Structure 1
């Protein structure tokens, strides 16, 4: 197809010189289209886009992972200072700031960890902590915040969308299912 546009451009340039100079103005868009087609077909367009993406920096997903790792490191450092429930500011039920989470009693989760978000959700293969990190939310987020954040990201990551990413969309759905179960 690029060769066809190159041929038409050459024909229009010759006709513009011989017949009418106005045809030179018509040859310019054909030449530009031929160049862009060649640029794409040669793979140079893809290379340039990748270089630009690397130059700009990390993607939203990579930034979210970095923030989640940093938040987890801060929480781990905080827990190291006072590992008992009273010293860490948590009630035995796992609540924060006087607000207990539903089903957060130690009996329900077996007594291993004091923090119910540390348990692994066996049906989804993701712990609540990982689910909050996937959604880039604080573990104290309410149900409405979780739902609105999920909907916003689902629209952006849906595989049928322009910037869709099937694996990221599946991971987002697993995280939402863990938090809404």
Structure 2
């Protein structure tokens, strides 16, 4: 099993000035974009979608427990409101992720910046997970819309042609 330090060691490339830097989640497969690259992207997306499916299930269970206490009329109105809000949130999540992607493509991170951002994101996610457990109970009435926003955001994140970290690494190799 390779250590984190060994996975960050750049791979020398014959005929190139510098070695290929390893990117978080992609390793060095981003350089040639062959079958291994697409396999890594597909497996990564499949894992995210599995987590997202579980999250949507939990969101719907929490929402179901909330709506069980409502009268029939209020429940119908709230369900339709939730359906419309979920559609809007799905589109909003997609657009937000696409705008962020385009912004990052204008100033892509270097490989070192990409690794540093991934480490910082991992540290933050632990605290957000702990804080999020309490918010799940409070947000039960709007969980389907929040889950739809997450679906839009994740789908947009994985359906891009090239990640900003790849663009930054290519520019770092060229310059």
Using CA pairs under 8 Å that are at least 6 residues apart, name the structure with larger relative contact order, 1 or 2. Answer: 2
TM-score, with length taken from structure 2: 0.31
TM-score, with length taken from structure 1: 0.30
**Larger helix fraction of residues:** 2
Larger Rg over CA atoms: 1
